[in-house]
Amino acid sequence: TSEELLYRPNYHFTPQKGWMNDPNGMFYLNGTYHLFYQYTPFQNTPDFSKMHWGHAISKDLIQWQELSPAIAYDEKGAIFSGSAVVDKDNTSGFGDGKNIPLVAIFTYHDMKKEQAGEIDAQSQAIAYSLDNGKTWTKYSNNPVLKNPGIKDFRDPKVFWDEKRSQWVMGVAAKDRQHFYGSKNLKDWTFLSEFGKNVGGHGGVWECPDLFPIKVEGTSEEKWVLIVNINPGGPNGGSAAQYFVGDFDGKTFTMDSLFTKQLEKEKVAWLDWGRDNYASVSFNNVPDNKRVIIGWMSNWDYSPDVPTEKWRGSSTIPREVSLKRSKDGYTLINVPVSQLKNCEAKTVRKEISLVYDKKLISKGEIDLSKAVIDVDFKKMTKGIYAFALKNSLGEQVIFGIDNNKQELFIDRTKSGKTDFKNNFADRISKAPLAKNYQNATFKIVLDKTSIEIFFNSGEKVLTEIFFPNENFSELTLSTDTKGSILSLNAHQLNIK
């Protein structure tokens, strides 16, 4: 259909039909990455009383194959967000001696209770699979963690805490983070609370994720806690923040350098664009890699975006690493290395910048599946503004403002924008600590999305758009002279 041609992403995951939001329960096992997601199969808007976990698999994190929905709602409630673990030692007892049990931990959302105004509509429950995640059996004694009297109590993310030989569950509790521990995934004990007076509190906390990670270039380990928040994002609506600290098996404590950093920055944002929400990581990825994926939308307008058959797509999976400088920590995000394997032809250019330059002309590279690497040298004060354009005069403008010291992305003239008044009512911005003489941009493009990785993933901006014709040109305007730009535009060869 024309909708498919215009808007179905070339390589970002979308379900064939229906509504999708958060990624759920991601793990790797035997050569396959599994992605589950919040899914309403029978309509293109969320039905919070009938949420399922949809299911897709991939060998390379780039090309996905959709399978049938994995877990369906039942009389106890809708299946809200959560995680899944590979229970190698069969601590749960769900194993049959032959197959390793996979255990999914999710939130039951009981719509009847919610509508009756009862506070305990959300509780945590489990299901297991003995066939590589294809079919799931719900535990007969669900829920395994009852509601403690907090209305927003959801999105359990469970991991194996090696040092303490325990399962740890992080769960969002209003605008706090709660931790629970367990030996068998069935009996849970409260460990601690985190989040009072730190980070963003402009909305409820959702979809948390705690994991250990090495500080780049050292052998030191830190713990990163990702907490999604809605609303209250840096440019409005849904977004993801993170904290850096230590975890002793009970309590997450912020690192002292990170504490100082937050006094200045207030919130550490994972992504400054408007469309990266519910970002959490895969369990069990080989080589200790930490890979995250998000829902490429925002609760501000997600049910209104102009696609009919399906709604919602995922971000490109990203590998994260932790960098420390004297000013603080940065959670670096870059597209997973598998994306590079899809690069087919490359166009290279070296350009001395004066005012307006066409970087990519129509037909040179298909900008609906491309990665553009740009390397600036000798930048001065001034604005460097890229524009993705089509023949209708629609455009997405983005780049760096070296006067105001910020990155920006402007989709106000990007095509269909009036489906919701808060979709294109502002220019998204990300502050920079200084102005730059040298800087790089990795720009990941699909039909309806841009993901900008500034300076090798130091700052990221992800946004979606809906032009009336796919963008086919890339230009750069600047009000300065004399900078040098090298461009490597890679066509992606996908499907």
For ligand FRU, the binding residue among 19, 73, 80, 386 (CB under 6 A) is 80
Which of positions 434-463 make contact with ligand FRU (CB under 6 A)? none
Pairing relationship of beta strands 318-325 and 328-335 according to DSSP bridges:
antiparallel
In whole angstroms, the minimum distance from the beta carbon of 410 to ligand FRU comes to 25
Nearer to ligand FRU, 107 or 402 (CB): 107
Binding mask 276-315 for ligand FRU (x = CB under 6 A): -xx-------------------------------------
Look at residue 357 and give its three-state secondary structure: strand
| H helix or E strand, kind and range, residue 2 | helix 2-7
Catalytic residue among 22, 155, 275, 446: 22
Regarding 38 and contact with ligand FRU (CB under 6 A), the answer is: yes
* Least distance CB 398 / ligand FRU (angstroms): 25
The answer to whether 24 and 37 are in contact (CB under 8 A) is yes
The type of residue at 92 is: S
Q: Which residues of 226-246 are buried (b: 16+ CB within 10 A; e: fewer)?
A: bbbbbebbbbbbbbbbbbbbe
In angstroms and rounded to an integer, the radius of gyration of the C-alpha atoms of the chain is 22
Question: Which of 53, 56, 81, 464 contacts ligand FRU by CB under 6 A?
Answer: 81
- Kindly state the smallest distance separating residue 299's Cβ from ligand FRU, in Å: 6
Identify residues 11-30 at the interface with ligand FRU (CB under 6 A). Answer: 21-22
Please, which of residues 128-187 interact with ligand FRU by CB under 6 A? 154-155
**Nearer to ligand FRU among residue 228 and residue 449 (C-beta):** 228
In this complex, which beta carbon is closest to ligand FRU, that of residue 54 or of residue 415?
54
Q: Residue written as tokens 């995640």? A: 133
Q: How many residues does the chain have?
A: 495
According to CB under 6 A, which one of 35, 51, 71, 452 is a site residue for ligand FRU? 51
| Least CB distance to ligand FRU at residue 272 (A) | 18
Question: SS3 for 288?
Answer: helix
Is the Cα dihedral 334, 66, 125, 89 positive or negative? Answer: negative
Classify the phi-psi angles of 301: left when phi > 0, otherwise alpha if psi is within -120 to 50, otherwise beta.
alpha
Nearest to 458 by CA among 270, 298, 282, 198: 270
What are the CB-based long-range contacts (under 8 Å, 24+) for 62-67?
Answer: 62/11, 62/316, 62/317, 62/336, 62/338, 62/339, 62/341, 62/342, 62/494, 63/11, 63/494, 63/495, 64/13, 64/35, 66/15, 66/16, 67/134
CB of 148 to ligand FRU, least distance (A): 17
What's the rounded Cα separation, in Å, for the pair 437 and 313? 35
d(CA 20, CA 40): 7
Provide the mask over 198-237, with x wherever binding to ligand FRU is found by CB under 6 A and - wherever it is not: --------xx------------------------------
Select 13 or 453, whichever has its Cβ closest to ligand FRU. Answer: 13
Min CB(126)–ligand FRU separation in Å? 15
Tell me how far, at minimum, the Cβ of 22 lies from ligand FRU, in Å: 5
- Token pair in block for residue 96: 């049959």
Q: Which is nearer to ligand FRU, 38 or 414 (CB)?
A: 38
Q: How far is the CB of 107 from ligand FRU (least distance, A)?
A: 5
CB of 313 to ligand FRU, least distance (A): 14
Q: How many of the chain's residues bind ligand FRU (CB under 6 A)? A: 14
Cβ closest to ligand FRU, residue 105 vs residue 278:
278
Distance CA(204)–CA(84), nearest Å, equals: 23
Q: 147 or 368, CB closer to ligand FRU?
A: 147
Q: Select 81 or 390, whichever has its Cβ closest to ligand FRU.
A: 81
Q: Which is nearer to ligand FRU, 129 or 238 (CB)?
A: 238
DSSP assignment of 436-490 equals -SSEEEEEEEETTEEEEEETTTTEEEEEE---SS---EEEEEES-EEEEEEEEEE
Active site residue 22: yes
Residue 468 Cα distances to 44, 130, 416, 471, angstroms: 21, 46, 7, 9
8 Å CB contact between 293 and 314: yes
Active centre residues (catalytic): 22
Residues that bind ligand FRU (CB under 6 A): 21-22, 38, 46, 51, 80-81, 107, 154-155, 206-207, 277-278
